[in-house]
Every structure is written in C-alpha cells, then in structure tokens.
Structure 1
C-alpha cells in the first residue's frame, strides 16, 4: 500500500503555505516531513500553472497595471559568483493585474532584464482579447517589449515616483512649504492614454499582499527560496489562490468572480482537488485584439484604428491663450435704490389688571 498523505493533512499544508509560512514552520504545524511538503508544493505549483492557462484567457479588460517585485534564490545578487547556476541570485516576479477586477492576468519569474520582460509581455498579450490601456513604472525594457507584442497603437503610459532622500540640497526659505517638484511624473509612451486612469496603485498593493502571503518573498527572514523551481511553484500557487479564494474587501467577491471566470468563492478543498487533477493543456495563443469601447463621447477613426475622444476639459494651450487675452470690458452696474423705510407703529396700551368685559 502506497504511503499517501491524507486529504485532511494536505489541506492543512496548503492552508499553511498560503498564509506565508516557511517549509520548516509548516512541518512543525502539521507534523508532515519537509520533503513531503516540498513534493506537494511542486505538484500544486505545476497544477496552478495549468489551471491558470485554462481559465485565464480571452480576457476583456480596459485597464492593466504591471510591476515587478524583488526576491532572491539561495543568495543575494552581490554574493553570486561565476560558478553559481544562472537561476541563483535575484529573482524578480513580473505581474500584471486587471485594475477593475484586481485579477492577476499574467506573471513571470526571472531576472530583471529584457528577455524576462519580453516573455512576460508576450504572455500578457496572448491572454488579452481587448486592447487595454497599459500602465507601468519607468523600467526601460517595457517600452520595446510592449511595442513588439501590442504594437504602437496601444495606449501606454509610464508613471514614475520621484523619491528624494531627506532634505539635502533644500534651502531654509522653503522648508515648510509643499514640495515644488511633483511626486508622480506621468509620460505617454504609445497612443493616447487617459492620465486620470494611469496608475500602478493596485499592482503595488498586490505586491504588499504577496509579501505577506508568500513567505519566500518576505524580507530579512530565513524563508527565502533555495531552489528556483520551488520559488516558481510557490509564486504560481499564491497567485492562483489569490484569484480564486481570496475576497477583495472593496469588491466583496474574489477577483475571478469579478472578472466573470467563476461564480463562487473556491474553498481550499476544491482548489487542492482541482490543482492535483488538472491536466496538461496548450498555453494560450495571441488572438486579434478589438478596441475597447470608449467611456466618453468619441468618434471612430477610419480603418478601425480606434477612437478619437472628445476633449471636454481645456488643454494647457487653451489655458495659456485665455490668460494672454485681455479681459472683456465690464458692463455698467445698475444701482437700485433701497426701498423707503416703513413708518414707525404707534404704541398700544395693554391693560394687565382690569377684568375683561362681561365677567
């Protein structure tokens, strides 16, 4: 008879892994050997990748945010030598989410270089069915990767946060006034994105949640990954569980429910059974993209090239022109005389002690 871990203990191990615990901590909590936990993690991670490829495809969303989260495998990059394997060192996780449903659409684990960025954006493009508005940080390899996968017709904007170290170089004459330089700088890369909707707030918030629920990405602790395969499996398991089992407080549903992929909150038993039984399937392939419907009055461009938005707010050029124009002459104000005061009323004598008549 094969030595098979009972289903109840499998669920306990899965719950502990999804709560940010290390392998040794899960071993102490569940009394399951760490080698068994590692084998189960690898199986669940492979099933998570297959399940994600099956259910997250033909995505129709209008706003996509992308970002990277830092981690490392075995040792930090400053201590990597030429004798170490290529997977050792820094391991960045590129992630893309739908800003409306908060669903994780795509991710890729690798070095923070052009090759990983190209593979990540290509996988994101293969899962999309509608041309979105894309927002990222100022990482330069995004620009050629987005242009190669989506083309230059996509609405793509980069937002850069300008952090300053302390008050060096700041004069005393403006110590207590607001900062003169803007904290967030937005720049258009392709197309005509809406600056009001260009943000990376949701994906950065997801990165904070990921460090809380995936112990391998937590800083200054001993739960970091020792092998790259284990790291990729943990990342895949964490993102699939986030999409299907975790309820977003502001949405009151899971990201997968908000995106229309499922109609209920998955339990850990259902997730465990599905991941272990998921079969190998082909990865999603890129399909022709359709333009998203404009949210404001717009006119369609010829040859199905998109829409031309109606600009209702004044542009900077029109504001400058209005300032340079002389103000119109003021019309004379008609003075209305005040009404005459009312004449004073005569005093009335009241009898407080005489009895009323007829008493």
Structure 2
C-alpha cells in the first residue's frame, strides 16, 4: 500500500489574507492553524475563514506541477523564447505567456515590498531609457540603478518619451531612498531629467512659524550630473560632462565613495541595459519576439529585475575588491542575507496592511426605524360616511 507523504506546513509563518479580518497581516500571532494537510489549507481562528497555502503567491490557482512552473519561469528570466519552451515541454503558448505575466506581476509586488521601503542610502544613482522596437509600435523603457551595490531600483514602460515617463521613474527611485541623504544622480542629455529629479527629491519645509502651508524644497545635498556622448559612424568621438545642479566637488566625492569611477559617467546603467536586452526576449535586436503590447514588456522587466536583484550573484560583487563572496545586489544593499532561489521568489507572500479599528469619528448614523404597519385591504377597511357633519362608521 502506497503511503501518502504530506508537505511540511508551518502555521507560525502564515497570516490571514481576509481583508475584513481584525488579524489580517499578523505573522506569528497564533491565530493560524492547520485546517487540511492533504489540500494544504490553513484556517484563521479569528474570522473562521480557510485559505490555501498558495494564497498570495504566483502559484495560486495553478494545477501544473510546481517544479515545471519554476523551470519555465527560470528559462523566461534568462531570455529563452516562448516558442522554445512550448516545444521543449509540450505546453500551450498562451499558458507560457500567462505564467510570464503572473510571475512578473508577483515580482512587482515583491519589488515594492523589499526594495521600495525608503531605507537605502543610495549615494550614486544612474538612470537611462531604452528604445524598444515592437510589432507596429515603438515603446520606451526607463531604468535606474544604485551604482554601489548594482541594485536595480526602478523601471517604467511608456509609448512616449515625455516628462511623465521621467517623473514616474524618479518617483519610484524616491520611494527606495532614505530622506535627506547626499545623492548624486547621473543621466544622459535628455532635458526632462533635471526637472523630474528635482520634483522627486524634495521635502515639505515650514519656512515661517505660525499658520500657513509648507513649501516644497529640494534636498540640500542633491547633485545632478549630465553626460552627453556625440557619436560618428557608431563610434563615440566626444563626451561632454556637466553639472546640472549641485557642486562638482561633492559629486566627485560621492563618485569615489560609491566606487563609480573618477569622472561623471553612465557606464553602469548602460551595462544594465545590455543585460536587459540580453535576457528579455522582446528587447533583443533583430529577433522574432517583438512585443505587441506594453503589458508583456512591463511584466518581463519586473521578472528580470527581481531575479537580477535577489537570485543571481553579481560577477563584480564577487570580486575581492567588493564583497569577496557569492553576493547578489540585494545582499550587498543589506536587504537580505542569502541568495534567493526562483522557487522562494515565486512563493514569497506580501502581507496586507494590518487592520486598524475605526475611531468612530463623524456624525452618528440614524437608527433604523421599524417599518410602518401594512395597510389593510380595501375589502376589510370599514366604510366611513359623513352624517349631519359627524363621522360615522357604516357598521355602527
């Protein structure tokens, strides 16, 4: 007789996903118990609701083996074309595309929960944008990275290369940064960058005491550099380096402190652009994987960015001059203490915000009044007539 082997279940690491539960998002509170080991379901003792162990992960609702899904997502993160995966594993092309989009959406939540926490002393950031030639469309992908740890910070996709693209990109970088720290931002010669950087990195300051609104002031230690390259016959013949905002001395100090070279440059973000073009199939030049919509570009970008930050050891960080050990950008930034596997990334759960009891402010709601008695039918209603100015019943 074959013996059934159940997977290990740990209720202490789970939280209630019910949005109406008073204990939602609480980990280790003792309110989660095992409901069914065979189906891998938990139960919350507060709201009495049950939920699957896959709830909140990329694998929720999928019936294919977990090992197959992890292998397919790993191949997608390395730039393997969808058609090759379809022929190798006998899957449907729409299934593989759906797994890519689900994995990318899940990696976006992981990025927001792990990277965009406002705890990073960025020091030196480089930003650039990629031109994506799709099927009957041209899109733009903005990218930004932290030079010291090679951490990918932000990415956004748009059909137009306008100020809104730069604003979204730099606002995402701002959500990663610790407030009021010395920061150097290097970009190319696009005129929209300096204004977007100033709008992103500013704080509310009350200049005069008393009543009145506070004004938004740019960080005092913000420095913006611009690197413009002039090419001729696809070769760089001239490089112009200028400071758009801040001082040259502080910029050179931050460059030396972050290990970003001795002069203003955008070499690190250009290397990340090359990694994106190598591992994201729609970005490969002269290929048959052209994107038709922005959604595959965005989900593929987050899938590659999350695995780049958390799963793949960086070659430069493994040198003795840096960490000297197998290290990912997230480990170098102090966001995690180990190298994540792709399975761990897909099983990661983002806890919802904890439930907060309402303070009961505002006007009290009116109490519901009991409904009025129903009117009697006309045939049972007593007849009333007027007799000499006096109301009399017909039955009297």
Q: Do they fold alike, i.e. is TM over 0.5?
A: yes
Structure that is richer in strand per residue: 2
Alignment of 1:118-129 (within 5 A): 118-129=167-178
Structure 1 residue 280 displacement after superposition: 6.0
Where do 5+ consecutive residues of structure 2 fail to align? 1-38, 40-60, 202-217, 253-261, 319-326, 355-396
| Post-superposition offset of 1:217 | 0.6
Where do 1:228-267 residues align within 5 Å?
228-252=294-318, 253-267=327-341
SS of the equivalent of 1:162 reads strand
Distance, in Å, in 2 between the alignment partners of 1:231 and 1:24 is 17
Alignment partner of 2:121 out of 29, 36, 60:
60
2:187 aligned residue: 136
Alignment of 1:209-358 (within 5 A): 209-252=275-318, 253-274=327-348, 277-278=349-350
Instruction: State the distance in 1 between where 2:95 and 2:125 align.
Output: 38
In the alignment, the residues of structure 1 paired with residue 89 and residue 351 of structure 2 have an alpha-carbon distance, to the nearest angstrom, of: 28
Q: Give how far 1:136 is off.
A: 0.5
Match of 1:287 in 2: none
Q: Distance in 1 between matches of 2:78 and 2:190?
A: 31
Instruction: Select between 223-232 and 60-69 the one with higher mean Cα deviation.
Output: 223-232
Q: Distance in 2 between matches of 1:166 and 1:225?
A: 26
Alpha-carbon distance in 2 for matches of 1:24, 1:278 = 32
Distance 1:210 1:281, change over 3 A: farther
TM-fit CA distance, 1:138: 0.5
The runs of at least 4 aligned residues of structure 1 exceeding 3 Å deviation read 277-282
Counterpart residue number, 2:227: 159
Does residue 184 (structure 1) correspond to residue 243 (structure 2)? The answer is no
Distance 1:267 1:242 in 2: 11
Q: 1:254 to 1:19 in 2, by over 3 A?
A: same
Which residues of 2 match residues 61-140 of structure 1 at below 5 A?
A: 61-75=122-136, 89-110=137-158, 111-129=160-178, 130-140=181-191
- CA distance, structure 2, for counterparts of residue 157 and residue 99 of structure 1: 14
Deviations 1:51-89 (A, max 9, x none): 1011112221211111111213432xxxxxxxxxxxxx2
Aligned to 1:208: 274
Is the Cα–Cα contact under 8 Å of residues 157 and 294 in structure 2 kept in the other structure? no
TM-score normalized by the length of structure 2: 0.60
Deviations along 1:168-214, one digit per CA (max 9) or x if unpaired, are xxxxxxxxxxx9xx722101101114253522111100111111111
The TM-score, its normalising length taken from structure 1, stands at: 0.66
Instruction: Report how far residue 10 of structure 1 moved.
Output: 0.2
Task: Decide which structure has greater helix share.
Answer: 1
* Cα root mean square deviation, aligned: 2.3
Are 1:47 and 1:278, in contact at CA under 8 Å, matched by a contact in 2?
no
Matched, 1:25 2:84: yes
1:3, 1:60 → 2: CA distance?
39
